[in-house]
A and B are shown apart, each in its own frame.
Chain A
Amino acid sequence: MKKILIIEDDARVAQALSVRLKSAGYRANTAYDAATGLMQAKKIQPDLVLLDINLPAGDGFMVAERIMEQLETMVPIVFITASKSAELLQRAKDMGAAGYFEKPYDAKELLDAIEEILNG
């Protein structure tokens, strides 16, 4: 079972994502802030990270970089953000993110994308 780590400061969105992923057959862990997210990532060694960009105490890009440093294998990172900005999208691409979704995301598109990233 593939492990997906959700780092999202809005607890309900985090929970919704968790339910969605579990229903699709993934193992989901959630963290609500950057520090916990980093700790979890080290602990569970996820196959994919769903990462909010606007996080309290440290933005998603910083977290993404740290995760990439920490983990031995390359972990795909999918950003989820409420912001619509060309700059953020470009930064995500530049740092090698696997995906970028805007809130409110389309659940089917998101699951299809994750499926493709993990098994494609």
Chain B
Amino acid sequence: MMDTASEAIIARGGIESCDATVVPDHPLPKILIVDDNSINLIVMRKVLESVNATLVEASNGEDALNATLENDFALAILDVQMPGMDGYELAAHMRSNRKTQNVPIMFVTAAYNDEFHMFKGYEVGCIDYLAKPYKHEVLLAKVRVFLELDHDRRELQRHRNRLEEMVADRVRDIDQLNKMLNLIRELDQLIVREKSSAKLIKSACEVLAKAEIFRTAWITLNSDSPVEEGCAQSGIEAEDFEQILEAFSQDRAPDCHKLSLEQQDVIVVGPSCSCCENCRLFNVCRPGNAMVSQLGHQGQLYGWIHVSMPNDLKADKRRIELLRQIVSDLGFALLSITTQRERDEAAKNLGETNRKLVKRNEEIQYFYHSLAHELKTPLTSAREFLSFVTEGLVGDLNETQAEYLGFVQESCSDLTIYVNDLLDLVRLDTGKMSLFPEPVMLNKLISRVLSIVKSEAVTRNIELRSEFEQGIKEVEIDKSRITQVLLNLLINALKFTPEHGLVTVKLNQDQHRAGWVNIEVTDTGRGIPEDQLDYIFRRYFQVDPSDHEQKEGFGLGLYLCKEIIRLHGGDISVESKPKKGTTFRLSLPVKQQVPLSTKRREPEAFVFG
């Protein structure tokens, strides 16, 4: 029978038209039954009553095909022999359509149940065959199997979908994490590279806003902070940012800024928070979801940072943690830059000060040199005229006059020594004291020095003794400089030795060092306090005078002795026992390290060209 006009209708599982697009959450499986004979359809409906499925019926091939396009069937049970589009044709259409190609097809037929037709059926994609008349139980059993298969297939598909979703989620997640990691890495590179805070915050904003993690980023550094004042942004329209800055300059900073100043952590803001809702800058800021935080390091506030999220994304935990990291990194970097800048400035100032000091020092040295030089000429005439008087060239002196003029002469001698010491000091400080060593018999030199101080010793009633080891050969020294040292030591020794005391000069080979000689000057004076022994060779040091004495000179004598001996490559030491006496020991290498020929002669008196 033909029943061409009948529409596909839905039985069971709800009264819906088959073109309905609303799909329930867990829809019942659908079975398409197609037969041009309405009795057959009714019978089949009856048979399948107990099956938990929605039946969609069609009475011709065209309707059935339409139904397959609109529904997702678990099974299609087709009559083969139909007017118009027959079962084979319908099956072929279904197989050729992506949507329906996997729907299992079962043919039910009375006429074509021979092998030829069955094979034809299988060829067009049918997977089962049921010959009419069929046993209801057989149909039922087959349908159940197909439904189970369909159920399993759908479950599988659902799992697969869920799995794919999970994978996609993870991929998105990893992508985001990578972007964050890259952001931090780029920021770290900036921190290493940038030497100025202005450049650092500018580059930092650019890195932040281009990472797709944040849409906009802006940073301001306060004028009253230890770091350089400044601001930077990325992702904000230039004119909008100008408005923001203007607000800041007029002390109308947004509430989120004020909030962040009170709190050391990251604060999340957004269109839904009251702070943004009432913000004067809402239209220019257009924050979306945003985060703000103060910038600083170790309790010091440098400024603040504002970042907004792209595409209505929320400030999730990860972004909050990220911003914390950024804030921490930037704080540290800003401190480093500031410290470095301060260090550079300090170094610069130090260099400046140092140059000034060096110049000043040179001026002072030049002054001392000129002073000492200028003192020499009046000293020369003073000494000479004094000698004329004391030598009786201009008449006899009475005893008192002679005594007093003797004092003046002593003062002149002291002055001469001081002037020479002063010149030597300037020479040492300017590196211009040079030695002119020549081979010298030390015993002869010592004897000559002793002869100079002899009259002083006689006057003071002090015995002068010398003990020379035999066989000491020539020693390479600067004659005038070593004479100066020995004179200094002997004059000191005599000064601190009481009447009837003894001053001894010994010359020995060094017992421990071959090629070295020692000269010892020993007195029986009051000795040097132990706590002062370490300091006596220091510049300007003077042993504390005992009662009724006063300090004399500059305290340069022993310092110059030490430096002169040092220039010779030797050393000087002192031993002293209170009330017993003091011994100064000079140790000198017999040969100088520097060849004599390379040393220039220092001027001294010479005669005979």
A105 to B388, CA, bound (A): 15
Cβ-based interface call for B376 (8 A): yes
B404 at the interface (CB under 8 A from A): no
The docked-state distance in angstroms from the alpha carbon of A102 to that of B384 is 14
Residue among B387, B423, B606 with most chain A CB within 10 A: B606
Choose among A99, A104, A117 the residue that contacts B380 (Cβ–Cβ < 8 A).
Answer: A104
Q: Mark A75-90, 1 if CB is under 8 A from B, else 0.
A: 0001000111110111
Question: Is residue B119 contacting chain A, with contact meaning CB distance below 8 A?
Answer: no
Partner of A82, one of B373, B434, B601, B608: B373
Q: Interface readout for B372-400 with A: 1 if CB under 8 Å, 0 if not?
A: 01101111110111011000010000000
In angstroms, Cα B376 to Cα A101, docked, is: 12
The answer to whether A19 and B384 have CB atoms under 8 Å apart is yes
Question: Are B605 and A15 closer than 8 Å at their CB atoms?
Answer: no
Report chain B residues within 8 Å CB of A100: 603, 605-607
Task: Count how many chain A residues have C-beta atoms less than 8 Å from C-beta atoms of the other chain.
Answer: 35
In the complex with contacts A98-B607, A98-B609, A117-B607, A13-B602 CB distance below 8 A: no
Q: Taking the complex as formed, is A116 at the interface, i.e. its CB lies under 8 A from any CB of chain B?
A: yes
Q: Do the beta carbons of A104 and B608 come within 8 Å of each other?
A: no
Name A22's closest neighbour in chain B (CB-CB). Answer: B393
User: B262 on the interface (CB 8 Å rule)?
Assistant: no
- B409 close to chain A: CB less than 8 A: no
Say if the beta carbon of B604 comes within 8 Å of chain A: yes
Confirm or deny: B38 has a beta carbon within 8 angstroms of a beta carbon on chain A.
Answer: no
**A117–B604 alpha-carbon span in the complex (Å):** 18
- Given known contacts A86-B601, A89-B601, A103 and B609 CB-to-CB distance under 8 angstroms: no
Interface of B is mostly: helix
Min CB distance, B119 to chain A, in Å?
130
- Given A86-B603, A89-B603, does the pair A10, B377 have CB atoms closer than 8 Å? yes
Partner of A86, one of B380, B385, B393, B602: B602
Inside 8 A of A57's CB, which chain B residues have their CB?
none
B416 beta carbon closer than 8 Å to chain A: yes
* A72 sits at the interface (CB 8 A): no
Say which residue of B379, B602, B607, B608 sits within 8 Å of A103 (CB atoms): B379
Contact of B603 among A12, A19, A102, A109 (CB under 8 A): A102
Instruction: Given the known inter-chain contacts A19-B384, A84-B423, A100-B603, please indicate yes or no for A13 contacting B393, CB distance below 8 A.
Output: no
Residues of B near A86 (CB, < 8 A) are: 434, 600-603
Instruction: Among A12, A15, A97, A102, point to the contact of B609 (Cβ < 8 A).
Output: A97
- CB pair B607–A82 under 8 Å, yes or no, is no
Q: Which residue of B lies closest to A106 (CB)?
A: B605
Contact with A along B428-451 (1 / 0, CB 8 A): 000000100000000000000000
Nearest Cβ on chain B to A110's Cβ, whole angstroms:
8
A23 lies within 8 A of B388 (CB): yes
B373: chain A residues within 8 A (beta carbon): 82-83
Q: Closest Cβ of chain A: how far from B483's Cβ, in Å?
A: 13
- Tell me if A55 counts as interface (CB < 8 A to partner B): no
A10 to chain B, nearest CB (A): 5
Residue pair B377, A85 in contact (C-beta under 8 Å) = no
Verify B600–A23 contact, CB threshold 8 A.
no
Interface string of B555-578 (1 = CB under 8 A from A): 000000000000000000000000
Q: Is the CB of B603 within 8 A of A13?
A: no
Given contact pairs A23-B388, A23-B393, A82-B376, A104 touches B383 in the complex (Cβ within 8 A): yes
Residues of the B chain whose Cβ atoms lie less than 8 Å from the Cβ of A116 = 607-608
Give the one of B385, B604, B607 with max A CB within 10 A.
Answer: B607
Contacts of A99 in B (CB 8 A): 605-609
- A16 and B607 form a contact (CB under 8 A): no
**Which residue of chain B lies nearest to A13 when distances are taken between CB atoms in the complex?**
B381
Whole-angstrom distance between the alpha carbons of A96 and B607 in the complex? 11
B381 A16 Cβ-Cβ under 8 A: yes
**B601 proximity list for chain A (CB < 8 A):** 86, 89-90
Per-position 1/0 for B585-608, Cβ under 8 A of A? 000000000000000111111111
Which A residues touch B385, using CB under 8 A?
Answer: 12, 16, 19
A20–B608 touching, CB < 8 Å: no
Chain A 3-23, CB-CB to B under 8 Å as 1, else 0, gives: 000000010110111011001
Interface pair B603/A107, CB less than 8 Å apart: no
CB distance from B134 to the nearest CB of A (A): 137
CB atoms of A82 and B603 under 8 A apart: no
CA distance in complex: A80, B370 (Å): 17
Q: Which residues of B contact A23 (CB under 8 A)?
A: 388, 393
The docked-state distance in angstroms from the alpha carbon of A107 to that of B388 is 11
**A93 touches B (CB below 8 Å):** yes
Look across to chain A and name the residue whose beta carbon is closest to the beta carbon of B388: A19
- Which A residues lie within 8 Å of B600 (CB)? 86
For the complex, give the distance between the alpha carbons of A78 and B416 in Å: 22
A103 and B384 alpha carbons, distance in the complex (Å): 11
- How far apart are the CA atoms of A68 and B380 in the complex, in Å? 28
Q: Does A113 contact B (CB under 8 A)?
A: yes
Q: How far is the CA of A82 from the CA of B385 in the complex (A)?
A: 18
B609 partner residues in chain A, CB cutoff 8 A: 93, 96-99
CB-nearest residue of chain B relative to A116?
B607
CA A96 – CA B416 in complex, angstroms?
A: 29
Q: A16 — nearest CB in chain B belongs to which residue?
A: B384
Q: A82-B373, A86-B600, A99-B608 are in contact. Are A107 and B387 (CB under 8 A)?
A: yes
Rounded to whole angstroms, the CA-CA distance of A16 and B385 in the bound complex is 6
Which of A12, A102, A103 sits near B604, CB closer than 8 Å?
Answer: A102
When distances are taken between beta carbons in the complex, the residues of chain A under 8 Å from B376 are: 82, 102-104
Question: What chain A residues lie within 8 Å of B387 (beta carbons)?
Answer: 107
Within 8 A of A (CB), among B331-380: 373-374, 376-380
Distance A11 CA – B489 CA, assembled complex (angstroms): 37
Q: A10-B377, A16-B384 are in contact. Are A105 and B605 (CB under 8 A)?
A: yes
CB distance from B413 to the nearest CB of A (A): 10
Q: Shortest Cβ distance from A80 into chain B, in angstroms?
A: 9
Complex contact B602–A109 (CB within 8 A): no
Residues of A within 8 A of B434 (CB): 86
Cβ of B597 to closest chain A Cβ, rounded Å: 15
**Contact across chains for A15 and B608 when beta carbons are under 8 A apart:** no
6 CB < 8 A contacts A-B? A19-B393, A101-B605, A102-B376, A104-B383, A106-B605, A109-B605
B interface residues with partner A (beta carbon < 8 Å): 373-374, 376-381, 383-385, 387-388, 393, 416, 423, 434, 600-609
Identify the 9 closest CB pairs spanning chains A and B, nearest first. A89-B603, A16-B384, A12-B381, A104-B380, A113-B607, A82-B376, A99-B607, A103-B380, A103-B376
Known: A101-B605, A104-B383, A117-B607. 13 other contacts (CB 8 A): A17-B384, A19-B384, A82-B376, A82-B377, A82-B380, A84-B602, A86-B434, A86-B601, A98-B609, A100-B607, A103-B380, A105-B605, A106-B605
